[in-house]
Amino acid sequence: MVEKSTPVVGIIISVFIAVLLGVVMLSISADQVNDITDKQGYVEAAQAITMFAPIEVNITKVYTLTEAPTGWKANGECPLTNFVLSNASGTALTVTTDYVVDLSAGTYTMKNTTDTGLMDDNSTYATYTYCPDGYQTGFGGTTLNLVPGFFALAILVSVAFLIFWILRKEGIDI
């Protein structure tokens, strides 16, 4: 009786294709995980400042930002970060001197000490980082960040196992 040998070339091609598919899926899953576990980049939102006279800012108006935290994010679990308020020419206003900001609510109020000479077009421009919808924090976010790494390890172990299996099948002992 003739013993059939395993077609090693076919197995090598199959492993190569499987690794390529695994790398593509790894890239896609890493991108998806990154989208829900990282805060989004800067948003620039312009808002017109209401003024009573050319020199007096309305200090009673509360301005709400475009990407203000809502739902569970508004409970202080995911406040805005990297908040900067500036005028049209890009000059940054000073926190606590020119305005007060509530990062958990996504609101700010101008103060009566604001230098209205900075308000060249009666607008403010807020830039900040925010949590997107579906953002994962805590244990869930940490666990999701581990998934691509374990997926890469699974690909590596599978390839190593198949390489050792092929070498052993060919009579090469390692």
| Domain boundaries defined on the chain | 8-35+137-169, 40-130
pLDDT for residue 5 is more than 60:
no
Q: Mean pLDDT over all residues of the chain?
A: 79
Residue 100's pLDDT band (cuts 50, 70, 90): very high
Give per-residue pLDDT as tens, 45-59. 667 676 665 567 777
pLDDT for residue 153 is more than 80:
yes
Say what the pTM is. 0.60
Q: How would DSSP label each residue in 126-141?
A: EEEEEPPTT---HHHH
